[in-house]
Structure 1
């Protein structure tokens, strides 16, 4: 049955009482399958929201100061300053234009620097917005269902479904709002053609969301004029909208909203199409929920968070004040917790000890063994005569504490700041590189893993590090990552990348290495650690 509540008056004013009586009379009837509210009036202009709201203010300031303005242009082609997205692809360009047409215009040097910096900030904003959208989509799967396998990112799939919904009913924008665990709020979890900052807004109280409540009760709600009855609480300022329930056979999950920039009707066929699409969304959420809720218990997830935080806390964050030397370290686990770590400490004789450890295994198992290995290194470093002796003693401790099925790699070095002498002992699959202005050298080959046998023969090297040179130690995860991408040439490409930045501080050298890994665009399957020690040039 096509049921329509129609108001002819542009505003509820003199006929307010009459409209209220008609409304009460209508509400006394049983609710139909969907609700229509419309008003016949000239459409209001739709104000499109800017994705970079601060850009207009910056452009106005440049007009006043330099007589030129800024403009963001979507697309990768063309001139201007690149704005990149989360995947590192150019999504648009920031252009500097004169206020008056001038074919020979060239931006002043100061404006060019400002535009370049703004483009970098816009890139970071866009990456954060995209990451937030993906995270919200992942949180949308927080519903109790059975375990199913899912391969694609839920955010990508929901975006595809929403785009299809817009195309099918000729809408302008779409959004998915999910109920929280307490069934008291609706939070935006996925959207198409809405400003990214919508994800930063607080959740909507369900008690005040009249249209969503009616939809969750089982009725599709069609609002042909959202301004006529504002208490229906359309979440976006669009002239017309349609709200569809998202639910499984037993649980309400949230609502699907389709918005239109023009005053319009949604036909019965269109609402039925949207109900089918809402069912598809519920299926997508069911497919993904187990990846975060059923694969591990909630208690295990909390433990992993605590272990990951503890591992990060144990990594060194304050550099030692060592004149003429600079160092930087980075560790990233493939999962929440892992077996990689790096460390540095000053010895009693004034030497600097550096460590890169890499324990085989995953998650809690690897994290526990990594903690034991790091503790053993610190304990033995107090009285070991040299790096080789320390690695042998640590191996004996590691082997004694395991059942014969725990293995690890370890690189341990001692730096003598006054002479520049560095001695390094290695056991396992870590990698060491000597980087100089003239070239680079791989310092050792792979050897027996810690824990493989009671007595091992660690690789041992001594080098006199010249000013302006650096030594880099990497865990096996970095070595495997580079080898899988480029074979034996992967290490060479990595070393050359570091050498190109050798004049920079250790932090920047390390960042260059991380950027190279990121550009390989491969899934991170192993824990990764990079440690850079540089001897500063003489002044």
Structure 2
């Protein structure tokens, strides 16, 4: 008869390690400090008391060295006031240490992520909690007691601990260890994964394990088959790792590699850069805007658009009509998204289509509104100001609908031209545009501008004052001076403006 000994009945030789107790429970320096504080001062912090205005409450500390028969008469060595000041300072220092450790923990995760981005610009945004969760899952699946992620430096000479689970957080503060001579790491980089059932088999530790455990698994972290680090899973007792543990380690290594590369991709999806098609449309928008120039003898015109997006929802245009009349137009869609840019393009196309024959400003505004009304079932809301001006006399007519404002300024002051806002085009079938007649003298500038200026804090008085200053300085580019004056204005909303100067 043959008696088979079950596999679970084995005798393992124990391993004597001086720091086994330190590994079982990481030394808590902060707790040790407060214990020393109580021993030295005779006071302890009352953790049950509520802290008001960050004031600590102290109680007499009764330690094992305090005589039991005189515990009621025990007098602290340090007075309460001095002990409170010391405890408050120590508490603040403790909080700073904890914050520093958390920053270190997060920074190590970011550096680990940057190592995964070979030849790719990286912003370093990755969660340390995500990495630690992957380590914890691997540790639990393989029934290990600790896990650590080590990443190679740029010269592939050193391995630095970037994330740990089940080990003291101080491991992140340790200097990097050399890759040379680290048998476990080197073999893992060649074989993908190495299982070590007994670190000290044969009484000699040839694996050069980074932590003094009895057994462990080392798996390589790779990007495009290039090793960038290793993951160690440690176990307190010797064991026999099988194919299951090896497969789990490989899966976790793959997951970590993807996780470390996830940060830049996440930013692409969270803060999407404009698509190439949108970039091309935006380029067309800006290239199709007219450049400031002399529109006629004695008349200079200029325009601007500032947008926080790649596209613009507004535009400006000017021309000389067949009868010699100067034509000015500025518009802005209500929708600030790319859809609004398309609404503005429809209005601009309508302007080009209807400005080739005789018309008044009110008639053209109505025709643009009709086009918006008929070409879409949605609300293509567009604010628009359109003006005609006789270059000989300086007399003009302006028609406006929506949120575009206008003023005329000279060296002596300014006067509003359009200040009362109305409904934008396509709000109803009729445009209901406001019409005004005006006259411009030599040395005066007409400024038409969108609501983005007022939203950022530049009201009519501010704009009129800057144009007035430009007129006093005989500046032939008042819009350029206006932009210089408002250079620190926050760009919270798109801003568009148009100026017409009579010299």
TM-score scaled by structure 2? 0.50
TM-score scaled by structure 1? 0.47
Structure index of larger Rg: 2
